[in-house]
Chains A and B, each alone.
Chain A
Amino acid sequence: MSQLEVEDLEVYYETEDGPAQAVDGVSFELEEGENLGIVGESGCGKTTLAKAIIGILPDAGYINNGSINFQGDDLTELPEPQRRRLKWEEISMIAQSAMNSLDPVYTIREQIVEAIETHRPGTGRVESDKIVTEMFELVGLDPDRADDYPHQFSGGMRQRAMIAMALALKPSLMLADEPTTALDVIMQDQILKRISSIQEEINSSMLVITHDVSVVAETCDRVIVMYAGKVAEEGPVEEIFDKPYHPYTIGLKRAFPNIQKSNQDLLSISGYPPELIDPQEGCRFAERCPMATDRCREEEPEAHYNNGLRSYCHYADEIDSELRPYADDSETWSKTAAATDGGVGE
C-alpha cells in the first residue's frame, strides 16, 4: 500500500456564479521516499491539490468527492483533532515566497519551537533548541542567527529557514509549493541541491509543485502534468521528457527554452486554459489541441498506457504517427480551434 493514494479527488471553490472546479477527478499514488513532481501552468489546480492534501483549503474551498488516503487513513474523513495532529508531524510544507510565509513579528526560533511544542508538548527548552540548531546546520544556516527576525534574512536564507521548520518534526511527506520560484538561479541551484541531499538523509517522500519544467526534470523521479484541474499525463521523468504521449506535454516541452541548445525556435500553444465554472464536456485541452476531433469535444478521455506513461488522450496511441513528426513546426499548433476563432485569443 503506497504512502499516499489520491483517488479521483474533486476540490471546488464556492463563487458567486457557481462552483469553480479547480481539481476535477485527480488520482495518483506516491511511494515511500519517492520524489513526485506536479507540473502545470497557472490555474491548472496544482496548488489547490497541494492545499487539499496539507489540509489548509480556504473557507470557500471544499472537497466535493474522492479520497486522500495517507498511511491508511482517509484525510477527508478524519475528524479535526486527529487531522490536526498529522499536520506538520507527518505532512509538512515548504511555501513559495518565504517572504511572507514566516510571521514577521516572531523570531525564526520561536516559530520552529512553536511547531515542535504543538505536536510534542513535553519537549523542554533545551531539547527544542537542540533540534533548531541541528536543523539550521542541515540546511546550511548559521545556528547563532536563529534568534533573528524574518526580515533580517535574505530571500535565500528565508527559504532555508522554511525548510528547517519543515524538517523539524522529521515528517514522512514534505510538500514543496514552488520552492524556488522567488529565488535567483544560483540560489535556486543551492536550495534544490540541499533539498535532495536532505531528502536522502531523512528518507522522506516529497511532492514538488511547480510550473518550471526544468526544476521538475532535475529533482523528481516521477511527474504528473496537470491541465485545467485534471491529470493530462503521468509517468517516470525520463520517459515523459523523452517521448510524451499527450499533445499538451508535447507542446509544453517545445515552449520551454533549453540553455544547452542554440537557435531553437520556441513554440506557443494558442488559446488559453478553459473556464473552471461549469467547464464544457469532453477533453479540456480540445480547444487548443492540433489533433482535436468531435469525439474529444464530447467524450472525456480515459487513461491510455504507452511505455509506462499514463496519458488521458483519446488518440494517445496514434501520437507517434499523427503528431510527433510535425510537432516541431509552429504551423501544426496555429491551426487549432483556438487559433482560428478570430484573433489570437490569449
Chain B
Amino acid sequence: MTGDDVLLEVDNLKKHFKVNQGWIASLMESFGSGSPDYVHAVDGVSFELREGETLGLAGESGCGKTTTGMSLVKLHEPTDGDIVYDNTRLSEASDSEIKNFRQNAQMIFQDPFESLNPRMTVYDTVAEPLRIHDIRNETARVQRALEFAELLPPEQYFNQYPHELSGGQRQRVAIARALVLDPDFIVADEPVSMLDVSLRAGVLSLLDRMTDEFGLSVVYISHDLSLLRHMCDRLAIMYMGKIVEKGPTEDVIENTQHPYTQALINAVPVPDPSVGRERVELQGEVGDVVDIPTGCRFKARCPDYIGDVCDQVLPPLEEKVAFDQDVACHLYESAEGYDPYEDLTGTSAAADAGESPESTPADD
C-alpha cells in the first residue's frame, strides 16, 4: 500500500492536550457541566519517511513540530490518526510489535545538559537500551557506537560522568545511545541549537554519516531554515499544528508557494551584509491553538488573503498543478481537481466564483 522504500507513514496524526484542571474541575466536568478546553498541538498531519532520507520539520515555536516528532517515537499516544510502521498500524500493534518498533525508533534531544542522566556513567547510558532489549555482547556494541560518534578512544569515556564532558561530547554520547540498537530511523529535535557554532558542523556530519553509511532515516526538527537547507532532502513547514507546505528542500526554498513559508524564509537573516534580502512585513503573532479559527489558520496574517474561501474552507495539503511540492493554500488549483469553492456555505460563494482561482502565485 505504501511506496516500496517508505519506512514510516504518518496518517492524519492528531494530538490534543487537555488544558490541565484541578480534580474539582474534572469532577464538575464528569457531571457534564464544564466543557474542557483542548490545546490542538497537532491537528491532522500526514507525511511519509523513506529509507536513508532526512526529512526536515520546520516552523516557529508552538507549531507542533516537537509534538509530532515525539508522537513518531510513541512518546505521545495520538488522539486521532495513526502511524504505520512495517505495514502495522501502531495503535493496533501487539506488544511484541511495539517492542520491535521501540528497537527501531530512537530520539536525540535538544539540551545536551539534560539529555544524559547526571548519575549514570557514559557506559551505562549507552548500554541501557541494550539491557532493556537484553541484547548480548554489550561492551563491544557500546564501543562501536562510541567510536562512530567519534569519541575516541571509547574506553577513556566509559567511566566518565556527564558533568565531566563538554556540550558537544554529551550530544555525541546521546547519538551513540540512539545508535546502539541499530535503529531504522531517528528523530532529532534541534540537536545542535544549543551548541556553539564552531562545534555544530562536527555533530551534523555525524547525522550525515548515519544516513549515508547506515541507510538510517532522520526526522530533523528545527526552527533554523538555513540549517535545514544544509541537512535535509525533503522539508515540511508547519503552522499551528498543520503542514502548510511539504516537498523536496530545494523546491520549498527556491520556489516557495505558500505565503507563510515565503515570510519565514524572508525573515531569516543572511550572514552576508553585501546581499540585501526582501523584507516581507508580516504583522501579528502565531495564533492561539486552543480555539482554532475556521478555514485557513494563517488567514489573519496572510498578505494574500483572498476572501471567504480562506475564511471558511480549510485548504487541504495536496499536489498542486505544476509544482513538485504539496501546498495547503487556496491560491493554487489542486491537481486532483478539488474545488474549495463548492464547500463555501452561504451566499458569499457566488461573489467569489467570479474571481478565477488560478490568480498568479503570490510570491514574485
Contact = CB atoms under 8 A, between A and B. Distances in A.
A241 B271 contact: yes
Contacts, number: 135
Contacts of B166: 272, 345-346
A181 to B, nearest CB: 10
A259 B273 contact: no
Contact of A242 (B150, B153, B254, B274): B274
B230 interface: yes
Contacts of B364: none
B269 A217 contact: yes
A213 B168 contact: no
Contacts of A263: 230
A241 B273 contact: yes
A238 B156 CA distance: 45
Interface stretch (A85-93, A108-116, A247-255): A247-255
Given A189-B279, A257-B230, A342-B152, A268 B285 contact: no
B229 A262 contact: yes
B60 A343 contact: no
B196 A257 contact: no
Given A189-B279, A269-B198, A218 B285 contact: no
Interface string B266-286: 111111111101010010011
A217 B273 contact: yes
A264 B230 contact: yes
Contacts of A264: 230
Given A154-B285, A259-B268, A268-B202, A252 B275 contact: no
Nearest to A259: B226
A212 interface: yes
B332 to A, nearest CB: 23
Given A193-B279, A343-B153, A346-B166, A258 B197 contact: no
A343 B146 CA distance: 11
B137 interface: no
A237 interface: yes
B163 to A, nearest CB: 16
Interface in A143-159: 154, 156-157
B199 interface: yes
Contacts of A260: 270, 272, 275, 277
Interface in B199-226: 199-202, 204-205, 223-226
Contact of A215 (B250, B254, B269): B269
Contacts of A266: 200-201, 204, 230
A266 B264 CA distance: 22
A267 B205 CA distance: 9
B209 to A, nearest CB: 13
B260 to A, nearest CB: 9
B196 A41 contact: yes
A150 B23 CA distance: 29
B255 interface: no
A345 B168 CA distance: 9
A256 interface: yes
A46 B91 CA distance: 51
A188 B279 CA distance: 12
A341 to B, nearest CB: 11
A269 B196 CA distance: 10
Contacts of B204: 266
B317 interface: no
A238 B200 CA distance: 25
A238 B269 contact: no
A185 interface: yes
Contact of B267 (A189, A251, A267): A189
A17 interface: no
Contact of A185 (B151, B201, B223, B274): B223
A185 B273 contact: no
A21 interface: no
Interface in A312-346: 330, 342-346
Interface residues of A, number: 49
Interface string B249-262: 01001100000000
B51 to A, nearest CB: 21
Given A186-B263, A262-B229, A213 B197 contact: yes
B61 A214 contact: no
Contacts of B196: 41-42, 211, 272
A187 interface: yes
Nearest to A269: B198
B75 interface: no
Interface in B297-355: none
Contact of A186 (B205, B267, B270): B267
A194 B273 CA distance: 18
A262 to B, nearest CB: 6
A258 B202 contact: no
B227 interface: yes
B231 to A, nearest CB: 9
A187 B169 CA distance: 32
B152 A343 contact: yes
B236 interface: no
Contact of B274 (A212, A241, A255, A342): A241
Contacts of A59: none
B267 to A, nearest CB: 4
Nearest to A268: B201
Contact of A188 (B150, B266, B267): B267
B269 A189 contact: yes
A156 B285 contact: yes
A7 B245 CA distance: 52
Interface of B: 60-61, 150-153, 156, 166, 168-169, 196-202, 204-205, 223-227, 229-230, 250, 253-254, 263-275, 277, 279, 282, 285-286
24 contacts: A41-B198, A184-B61, A185-B225, A187-B285, A214-B270, A218-B270, A237-B273, A238-B274, A255-B197, A255-B200, A255-B201, A257-B226, A257-B229, A258-B270, A258-B272, A259-B253, A259-B268, A262-B250, A266-B204, A268-B199, A268-B202, A270-B202, A342-B153, A343-B150
The 7 closest A-B pairs by CB, nearest first: A268-B201, A214-B269, A189-B267, A266-B201, A259-B226, A257-B226, A184-B60
Interface of A: 41-42, 154, 156-157, 184-190, 192-193, 211-215, 217-218, 237-238, 241-242, 251-253, 255-260, 262-264, 266-270, 272, 330, 342-346
